[in-house]
Every structure is written in C-alpha cells, then in structure tokens.
Structure 1
Amino acid sequence: MEVLNGFYGDSHYEYDQRGNRVCERRGKGGKLVTHYQYDCLNQLIQVDNGEATTRYEYDALGRRVSKTSTIDDSPTRTEFLWNDDVLLSERYIADQEVGEDGQGGREQQEFSPDKEPYLADKTYLFEPGTFKPLAFVEQGKIYHYHLDHLGTPQEISNAQGKLVWSANYKAYGSLALADNPQVENNLRFQGQYFDEETGLHYNRFRYYDPEVGRFTQQDPIGLLGGINNYKYVVNPVQWTDPLGLTAAKEDPNRQVRAISRPKEIIPPDYDPLTDSYEGSKFYSKSTVEGGRVHVSTDAITQNDFARIVDNSSGQVDILTGTHGTPDGDLVYKPAFYDEDFARWGGAPNVNVHDVSKMSNSQIKSIIDNKDTTICAWCFSEKSKF
C-alpha cells in the first residue's frame, strides 16, 4: 500500500507503509517508470525499469552476495564476496540464458550450454580498518586508487603509473564526468557500490540515490536517527556513512598519502607534547578513563576552540554556557550555550552541554570520561569541580 508521495525535479516517488521507495516516475507525464520490490526485512530484491529487471540476493548477515540483470532475455550476473562489512571481491558472469525451475515456471539463471560463460574477477584491497580502497587486482594486473579527503576515488592508475580512470563528482556523489575510462570502477563514497542498472549506490544496509542525496529506505532505527529518516549526512564534503547507518566526520589529517606529505598528519603549528596548536589558548591533559580534556589559559572566543572540535575524529563533549574569571569563578551565560549549539548541535559526534543546568558531579563525570572534552569558557584551567 502506497502511503506517501514526493517529487524531486521531474521525478515523482511513491513509498510503501514501511517507508521504502516502491515507484519512481520520470520525464514528461511520468512515462518512465521504475518499480522497486522488497522482502520482509526491507531489503531491496528487485528493480524493474521497463528495459531491465535486476534481482538481488543477500546472505544471512544482510550483505548483498549477487545481482542479476536481464535485458531482452540476456542475463548478466555479478557475485560478491565480503570480508566482514568490506567488499573483498566480485565476479562478473555473462553469456547466460533464462531457464525454468520446474516448479511453476519461475525464471532462474543458467549457463548457456553451447558456449563458455565470460568471467571477470576483481579483488579489492582497502586501508586496514577503513572503507578506503587502496588498489584492485583484475586479470592479473594491479591498479591503484587515488582518493580525495573523504576516501572517494578520484583517479586510478596502472602499475606503470598511467591514469586509466578519473572522474569528477557532484556534491552528493553522482558522477558528473568520467574521463576516458579504460577500466571499470563502481566504488563511490566510502562503503558505496554503484549499480549501473539502477543508478543507485548499494550502501550495505540501505541503498542511496546520489541524484537526490538521500536513501531509498528509512533509517532502520526510525526517529532515533533524527527527524529525517532518509538523510545521508549533514555535509557530504566533510562526512561519510559507509554502512548506511551512522554518519562520521572524516579526519583530513588521516590520509594514506601522508607518508609523502607528513605536514597533513602533523600540522606545522601542532605540538604533540601538549596536544595544542601554536598560539592556542588551550592545552589538554589525559582523563581518568583515557580521554583528553582541553582547558583554556586565557579569555577565549568560540573560534579559539573550534579547531579542536573540527579536527577531532572521535566523540567530543563541549561544556559551555558560562563565563570564567581569572580566579576560577563561573558566571553563567546561557547565550554562550545557544551559540555553540547552533554551530555544532547537528553534528553526530558532538554533544553540547549547558553547565548552568548541571551539577558539579555531572560536569566531573563528563570531564573524566574516555572522549575529548572541551571546557569552553575563559580561564577554565582555574575551575574546580
């Protein structure tokens, strides 16, 4: 049952009761129609756009293990192998024919008996612990990825250093231009795989539509993930969502290429001994739980600690809502909290706390935790809790 409609440009969308996109109508009069089907787990299992029908299969962990696309009774199939949640390899199989299963005539894909199927295997290598691709091996040849700050492939070179693929993207990940590609590359934003048959990106737990910058299915946790159940990230220039579940801000200093550009890992004005920047009014010290707490040594403004917030890759707690004196006294200023919340309140990895509404024990529990904490008021090194 369709319960919700929407449109973007000349595209109109229809959704089922579970919030899954079930129909897309495009063009003049909505004559170009694409239908989507889902299983009981809200996994996309079939897409039919009138020219091609594509079916998807998943394993017990919800990872997509195959897709089969049929055009004019000529199917092609791609099978996927995984290493946890990271794509390990894929196999492309062509030259198949449509057969019958003998149980009611349901179509299934079989190898053509009179010719060898075409096989193409591709194996991926990723930076350990990330979704950032480093290289892939195809037909015995190795190709190297060149990424932007988000880990999105910008170029691919062969073993001789010659570019064999390059691309420009629009803000939300759709391909604006591919320059004379000599190899195929379907990796896009971190954790995303481009499906040529549909134009969607498979994003592990959901499918992402780069043309509209949103998912085709609701957030599995509903409104606990925010009031917009289809939102990709706050800012696609700084954030990624490799699993289709949780957005994370990318640390621009953490780059594979930093071996040849060390200044991108340790900025020239950064002092690792004090965990502070030259000229900064803040320094940090370790907490009981192994986190870091940043305290100020002088009168400050929001911009004095903004760099600490924006360069932190983990969880950040900002304690604000007060002014501090050189003697360590606090004078509560709710407007300070409002300003800081307006700037970082929507960031998934940042919590903004109003100390004027907290007890000393509550403040101390945050300062002593395992995250990065910023005591964002003047002379906060003098304060005691």
Structure 2
Amino acid sequence: MTFTIFNDDGLEVRYGYDALNRISRIHYGNGVETAYTYDGDGNIRTLETKAGENVLLSFAYQYDGNGNRTAKTGMQAALGGITAGNNALDISYNYDVRGQLLEERRNGASVCYAYDKAGNRIRKTDVQGEIRYLYNAKNQLIAEESPADRKQFSYDRQGGIIEEKNAAGIRLFSYNSRHQQTRVETETGSVQENRYDAEGLRFELLENGRRTSFVYHDGELLQEEGREEQKTSYHLGAGMEAFRRGQELSYYHRDEQLSTVFVTDGQGEIRNSYQYDAFGIPLETTEQLNNRIRYTGQQYDDVTGQYYLRARYYNPVAGRFMQEDVYQGDGLNLYAYCGNNPVVYDDPSGYKRKACPPQGKISESVDETSYGKSSSNCTELVPYYPANNGAESGSNTKTLFRGDRASVVPDDVFKNGFKPKGTHNDALLHTKSNTTAGNFVSTSGDIVIATEFAGKNGYVYVIRTNNYVDINSIYGAGAYFPEQMEFSIPGGIKPYEIVGAYKKQGGKIIGDFIPNPNFGGN
C-alpha cells in the first residue's frame, strides 16, 4: 500500500507500508529515500536513508526486555556526503530498574547519570569531569557544580526559574499570568521575548528585537515569517516533512526519535546536518539553511539553548523543564523530562511524555544487563536484580510494577503474593473498573504510574514475570485506560515473582529498597 502527499509547489512525499500498516519506505520528491524494518514487537530494527546509491544514514538497533533501546550502530554522513568511515557511530544505552537512563556510550566515550529517589539527576560524569546537582524539598534544582562553573537557581512562587547565576553572569527569566515564559535575558545581554495566542501557542518571537511570527494548525507549525527575507511554509505528513522558503523546497530527514538529522535541497544534496546526545544537547550542527526544527522534531531557540515544547521550555543541558508541570499527570517530579528516559520517550506537548513512534514493546533480544546492574564505569543507585536467580523464565520476562496502599504490607505480600479478586478470564473487562475485576492482578509497565496508585502512603512493588497480558498491545484503541500501560497477570502474582518494594510516605518514595527474600524461589 502507498500514500502520497503533494502540492502545486512541487512537494512530493510518498509512503509505503508493510502488511501490518507500518511505514516501510518514504520516498521524497528530490529522490532521497528512507527504508525501515521492524522486529517482531514493532521496534525499528533498521533505518536507512539513501540519495541514489549514496548512503546518508544507516543504523541498526537493539532493545531490552522492556522495549528500551540498548544499541544504535551504523553511520551518519556529514555535510558534503559520505566517505569511507565517515561519522561511524556506535552508541549503547544502559538503564536502571525504573527505566531511567544511566549511561550513553558513544564511540567508546561514556556519559553517566545518577538520580535520587525522586528522579532528580544528582550526578553527570563524562570526559570533562563530574557535575553535581543539588535540590530543595520541591525537587527544584538550586545549584549545579562542575569543575568549570557553579550555577545557582532561584524560583518564583509558581515554580519557574527566574534567575540563574553562573561564572559568566546572571540569566533572567520572566513569566506572564498563565506562567508562560515571556522573556529571557542571557549573561551576554541577548534577549528573547515570547508572545502567545489564546490557545497558549507561541505566535511571536523576538530575538534581540528581530521579530518572527508563527502560524499553527492543531498545534503543529505551518508557517514562519520575519526571521528570513522570505516566509517559510512547513509541510506535514508522518512528521515534519519539508519546508519551502521562497522558491527553494527543502526536505527533512529524521532518525528513530523523529529528530532532524539532515535537511536536503531539491537535488538531494545535504544542506544541514545534526547530531544530538540522548537528552537533546546539540553535539554537531552544520547549517547552510536556517532551521529551528531539531531534536524530536521540536523548535530549538538559538538565543537561550532551550526547546519550545508548547506548554513549557526544556533545557537539554540540565535534562529538565524550566517550569513545573501544571498537568501533574506524568509522575511526582514536576520538572523531570520523560521520566529520565529520553531515548524511548518524547514530550512535544510539555505536559506528558509519550513513546516515540513507532512504539516498541519487547524485542527479540533481551539484554538483562540493563536492569539496575553497574555497567562499565557507571554506577546506579538502586540494587541489581538478577533476571531469575536460577528460576526458569521465558525470553519475554518483563519488569512490571504495582502500587498498593499502606494497608497491604510487604511482609504479607512477600509471603502470599497478590491474589485475583474475581473469577472471569476476560482481561479487557478486568481493566474496566474495580467492580469488573477478574482472575487477574493489575500491574503497569511504568513505575511512575504504579507510584501514583500507591496513594499518598503505600508501597510500590517490583515484579519480574513472563506471565502477563499486555493490554495496550492486544486491544490497541479498545483499551479503556491506555495511559496506565497495564499488564494484567492471569491467576495472580506468585511470591517468587516479586523482586521487592519501595515505601511511599507523604507522597514521596523514602528509605532503601526492600528486597523480597523469596524472589526467584518456587
């Protein structure tokens, strides 16, 4: 099956689909073509972009048992085309039991992260040294210390950063009554001003007095005027596919995260080239054309170094948002970006993370090293949980999470497990409400969601099992609550499938992880 978008200006993008209705090929009007293959669970296995016989981009991917991407290997051409060994990339990722990114290893160079129990990044280590981060009781970053600098941050009553002091000077931030960022003055005196329409979208941007206006449709950028002598019109398809500036038509080419890696002209020649780290820090940027569509397909502001994610602004250097999340539906930490897993998730709304398409589940290659184990020179803050401690488990064993109120205590759970409340075997009906519970026990694939179910005071249990029904995967749009990422466990959860528990008190995870002495037994 194929589908084509085109217009009178010469734009053409043609999509090909596989038997499961997934995009398998994108053919652009300038002759550049991108091909995708997938593994058995819907994860991208390979991605290749070619201009004729010239390979511009070619990557193969691997995943762990939770659908986290663990490896990305291949090459990306530089401006001017491909040469032997040009920009070869070998990237690996490691995660803790919560799915937070612990390490990004790029061509042998590691960047390591550590977090506290609230999901705040407390340490980053790379070849330049160690950066430490300090927070207050509201999970607000108040200080950042590195070998080269010390930064201090102040906040307003609504939780937005209003001042950053650093070695170069002071950076100031201002907000309107809706707590939208309206002005940033940098240490060097550069000023960015933002203005918003009735729908809360940024319709006007002033960069050192130079005005740019924007037009949107359903929240997506359609037109930009003022930055260039000629207006820029954007064209949408499966993502941001192209832009026209005057008489020149240019095409976007994306990676697995929908981040712009190339811009090509009408003849298929590379005009812009980009590389980013996992959190979106620009690593290499080469531009012949001005372009603001960058990491995960979102707008990058050159003056501030922030990404505009509609409801909020994201700082990729800190890996955090600049303001609190007013939605409060994406976990207890109101500043964290994508639950500290930017490899798998993105957040174009600024309200709530979502899986970067196409959504992956479990790969055919399970790498148990990503479950809380120390990897190379990166050390994690929570215990390492062996895959099975000698117990038999299938190749699709997953780490799942269940939140319970304080009335259910770990000693009893470790002894008896979790029992179903009903008898019927309709998994979808089981998820509809508490009154329709069946012969299942509910869990989530996301620890943040499970933590919310624990209430203000309770426990979050970590479970390792290959006995589950993936509700979203099986029922798709028919699932009642897809945002809960439910995995229903038929017949209940056995004591030996429970790794242990975290205690939640006063709305926060406290104390050390409580291991289950019966985990991995019979």
Aligned match of 2:165: 25
Aligned match of 1:145: 252
Q: 1:46 aligns with which of 149, 167, 183?
A: 183
The answer to whether the Cα contact below 8 Å between 1:154 and 1:167 also exists between their aligned partners in 2 is yes
The answer to whether the Cα contact below 8 Å between 1:305 and 1:376 also exists between their aligned partners in 2 is no
Specify whether residues 5 and 351 from structure 1 end up closer, same or farther in structure 2 by C-alpha distance, changes over 3 A only: closer
SS of the equivalent of 1:346 reads helix
Specify whether residues 347 and 250 from structure 1 end up closer, same or farther in structure 2 by C-alpha distance, changes over 3 A only: farther
Q: Kindly indicate whether residue 331 of structure 2 is the aligned counterpart of residue 226 of structure 1.
A: yes
Q: Kindly indicate whether residue 237 of structure 2 is the aligned counterpart of residue 127 of structure 1.
A: yes
The structure with the largest helix share of the pair is: 1
Specify whether residues 6 and 157 from structure 1 end up closer, same or farther in structure 2 by C-alpha distance, changes over 3 A only: same
Greater RCO (CA < 8 Å, at least 6 residues apart): 2
CA distance in 2, matches of 1:68, 1:41: 19
The answer to whether the Cα contact below 8 Å between 1:345 and 1:351 also exists between their aligned partners in 2 is no
Aligned match of 1:163: 270
Specify whether residues 237 and 23 from structure 1 end up closer, same or farther in structure 2 by C-alpha distance, changes over 3 A only: same
1:261-305: CA deviations, max 9, x gaps?
Answer: xxxxxx9x9xxxxxxxxxxxxxxxxxxxxxxxxxxxxx9846426
Alignment of 1:202-351 (within 5 A): 202-222=308-328, 224-234=329-339, 235-252=341-358, 301=393, 303-304=395-396, 306=398, 344-346=446-448
Deviation at 1:150, TM superposition (A): 1.4
1:213-246: CA deviations, max 9, x gaps?
Answer: 1110100134x44221111102111101011001
Q: Kindly indicate whether residue 216 of structure 2 is the aligned counterpart of residue 82 of structure 1.
A: yes
Specify whether residues 44 and 374 from structure 1 end up closer, same or farther in structure 2 by C-alpha distance, changes over 3 A only: closer
Deviation at 1:139, TM superposition (A): 1.8
CA distance in 2, matches of 1:21, 1:304: 43
Aligned match of 1:185: 291
Letter of the 2:314 counterpart: Y
CA distance in 2, matches of 1:238, 1:19: 27
Letter of the 1:22 counterpart: I
Deviation at 1:12, TM superposition (A): 2.0
Aligned match of 2:142: 6
The answer to whether the Cα contact below 8 Å between 1:164 and 1:183 also exists between their aligned partners in 2 is yes
The answer to whether the Cα contact below 8 Å between 1:323 and 1:377 also exists between their aligned partners in 2 is no
The answer to whether the Cα contact below 8 Å between 1:195 and 1:202 also exists between their aligned partners in 2 is yes
Specify whether residues 302 and 18 from structure 1 end up closer, same or farther in structure 2 by C-alpha distance, changes over 3 A only: farther
Deviation at 1:154, TM superposition (A): 0.9
Specify whether residues 375 and 36 from structure 1 end up closer, same or farther in structure 2 by C-alpha distance, changes over 3 A only: closer
CA distance in 2, matches of 1:305, 1:195: 42
CA distance in 2, matches of 1:62, 1:302: 48
CA distance in 1, matches of 2:296, 2:322: 18
Alignment of 1:91-106 (within 5 A): 91-93=225-227
1:300-344: CA deviations, max 9, x gaps?
Answer: 84642649xxxxxxxxxxxxx6699xxx99xxxxxx989x76x64
Specify whether residues 241 and 5 from structure 1 end up closer, same or farther in structure 2 by C-alpha distance, changes over 3 A only: closer
Deviation at 1:146, TM superposition (A): 1.1
SS of the equivalent of 2:396 reads helix
Deviation at 1:202, TM superposition (A): 1.0
SS of the equivalent of 1:120 reads coil
TM-score (norm 1): 0.59
Percent identity reads: 25
Specify whether residues 148 and 306 from structure 1 end up closer, same or farther in structure 2 by C-alpha distance, changes over 3 A only: farther
Specify whether residues 347 and 157 from structure 1 end up closer, same or farther in structure 2 by C-alpha distance, changes over 3 A only: farther
1:48-87: CA deviations, max 9, x gaps?
Answer: 12422222111111111111122xxxx3111111112111
Aligned match of 1:359: none
Listed as ranges, the gaps of 5+ residues in structure 1 are 94-117, 255-266, 270-298, 308-320, 330-335, 355-363, 381-385
The answer to whether the Cα contact below 8 Å between 2:299 and 2:309 also exists between their aligned partners in 1 is yes
Q: Kindly indicate whether residue 280 of structure 2 is the aligned counterpart of residue 173 of structure 1.
A: yes
Aligned match of 1:333: none
1:87-125: CA deviations, max 9, x gaps?
Answer: 1111125xxxxxxxxxxxxxxxxxxxxxxxx62311111
Specify whether residues 20 and 135 from structure 1 end up closer, same or farther in structure 2 by C-alpha distance, changes over 3 A only: same
Deviation at 1:14, TM superposition (A): 1.1
Deviation at 1:347, TM superposition (A): 6.3
The answer to whether the Cα contact below 8 Å between 1:82 and 1:88 also exists between their aligned partners in 2 is yes
Aligned match of 1:290: none
The answer to whether the Cα contact below 8 Å between 1:133 and 1:145 also exists between their aligned partners in 2 is yes
The answer to whether the Cα contact below 8 Å between 1:189 and 1:240 also exists between their aligned partners in 2 is no
CA distance in 1, matches of 2:260, 2:172: 30
Aligned match of 2:506: none
The answer to whether the Cα contact below 8 Å between 1:189 and 1:242 also exists between their aligned partners in 2 is no
CA distance in 1, matches of 2:193, 2:256: 34
SS of the equivalent of 1:89 reads strand
CA distance in 1, matches of 2:141, 2:359: 42
Q: How many residues align?
A: 267
CA distance in 2, matches of 1:238, 1:177: 21
The answer to whether the Cα contact below 8 Å between 1:143 and 1:158 also exists between their aligned partners in 2 is yes
SS of the equivalent of 1:51 reads coil
CA distance in 2, matches of 1:139, 1:305: 54
Aligned match of 1:35: 172
Deviation at 1:178, TM superposition (A): 1.2
Aligned match of 2:465: none
